[in-house]
Amino acid sequence: MHAVVYHGPGRKSWEEVPKPSIQDDTDAVVKVDSVTICGTDLHILKGDVPAVTEGRILGHEAVGTVESVGSGVKNLSPGDRVLVSCITACGSCRFCREARYGQCLGGGGWILGHLVDGTQAEYVRVPFADTSTFAIPAGVTDEEVLMLADIGPTGYEVGVLNGHVRPGDVVAVVGAGPIGLSSIMGAKLFSPAHVVAIDLAESRLEAAKRVGADVVVNATHDDALEVVRGLTDGLGADVAIEAVGVPGTFEQCAALVRPGGTVANVGVHGKPATLHLEDLWIRDVTITTGLVDTYSTPTLLRLLASRQLDLGQLVTHRFGLGDFMQAYEVFANAADTQALKVVLSARS
Ligand code: NAD
Ligand code: ZN
């Protein structure tokens, strides 16, 4: 089969590799029907994630058809259409029983495409297949479901639920990339008074408006603090969601939030950010952060099926499964191409 293989910083290729097979009795082998590229894949390719070593097949988001299952797999059969989740987890250890799948102690807790081979391939071996795949309800498209492999649950769990968004809240979302946009859509499910999207790129702010942001702020020339204070009698946002991953935007979220509010950090930070405890403690500010666990995926699947959530609108570009080099080029140059999510499909 063919797969996208990482060959060290800046180097990858779509090349012939051995087709995966069942190694453990809890594995499934899934034929990849649709797959996408994540910002994290670009970080890996820059060499920012040293845990990913040469020879690794990239990718942690896919929709596919089960080809074979190990003898210990209870919930899946060949022919089933499934979402392959970004996190694989044993499902039975102390942390998995708390739905903290990302911290699995039972030999999982892996993000596919990091320490195990990933989904940017014609076939993928999914460890712990019972907890690492989700059955797809009728009436939803592969593209929509694909948005739940990572960005949907990330925005919803780490942004919206950790942030405790409630009806009537003013929610500031800093960063309107796929994760920030999915946080905006997730926040809208709770009937906030205003969602304010803050970014530096006009095209991303346009996308934020399309997915439901009530107010957009281009922080290159407008003052987000002034806008948020103007909407909140000078108090600040009830919830500030950080969806960029640089120190400045974390510190901005801490400044944007009202006394008693929550900063929900979603961004992956490569550098330390300053935590102004001398200010935050007396303002009763709660700070949350975390890795996506995908415990919300069944809820989000129901919301897709009932048309309460339209994550499919984030797909801007479509390719055939073999066109990874071109798709990476388009995705990595989002400023020019205005790409949000690119989908590669075996059927196109
Ligand atoms: P992205 O790079 O596509 O989007 C980031 C957005 O932030 C861009 O639109 C950019 O214009 C904007 N931005 C950059 N600097 C800014 C600034 N100073 N002020 C306002 N906006 C600014 O990234 P993404 O794919 O949407 O991911 C967002 C973050 O979420 C990344 O750090 C990613 O690694 C992280 N992430 C976290 C998890 C998790 O489990 N916690 C999972 C997936 C991704
Ligand atoms: Zn576990």
Interface predicted TM-score of the whole assembly (ipTM), two decimals = 0.98
**Rounded-to-integer distance, Cα 42 and Cα 324, Å:** 13
Count other Cβ atoms within 10 Å, centred on residue 20: 22
| pLDDT tens readout for residues 75-104 | 999 999 999 989 999 999 999 999 999 999
Regions of the chain where pLDDT drops below 50:
none
| pLDDT tens readout for residues 120-156 | 999 999 999 999 999 999 889 999 999 999 999 999 9
Helix axes 247-256, 224-231, angle to 10 degrees: 20
**Rounded-to-integer distance, Cα 40 and Cα 268, Å:** 9
Give nearest CA residue, ligand 1 atom 27.
179
Specify the pTM: 0.96
User: What's the pLDDT at 94?
Assistant: 96
**Rounded-to-integer distance, Cα 278 and Cα 182, Å:** 32
For residue 37 and ligand 1, the question of a CB distance below 6 A is answered with no
**Rounded-to-integer distance, Cα 113 and Cα 290, Å:** 19
* Gap from CA of 274 to ligand 2 centroid (Å): 33
**Domains of the chain: which residue ranges?**
2-150+294-345, 154-288
Superfamily of domain 154-288 in CATH is: NAD(P)-binding Rossmann-like Domain (3.40.50.720)
Q: Which two tokens stand for residue 102?
A: 């990302």
| pLDDT tens readout for residues 216-247 | 999 999 999 999 999 999 999 999 999 999 99
* Gap from CA of 91 to ligand 2 centroid (Å): 5
Beta bridge partner(s), residue 218: 199
Atom of ligand 1 lying closest to residue 176 CA: 9
Three-state secondary structure call for residue 327: helix
**Rounded-to-integer distance, Cα 109 and Cα 91, Å:** 10
* Gap from CA of 301 to ligand 1 centroid (Å): 24
2-150+294-345 and 154-288 have identical folds: no
* Gap from CA of 180 to ligand 1 centroid (Å): 7
Q: Which residues make up the environment of ion ligand 2, defined by Cβ < 5 Å? A: 89-90, 93, 96, 104, 106
For the domain spanning 2-150+294-345, the CATH number is 3.90.180.10
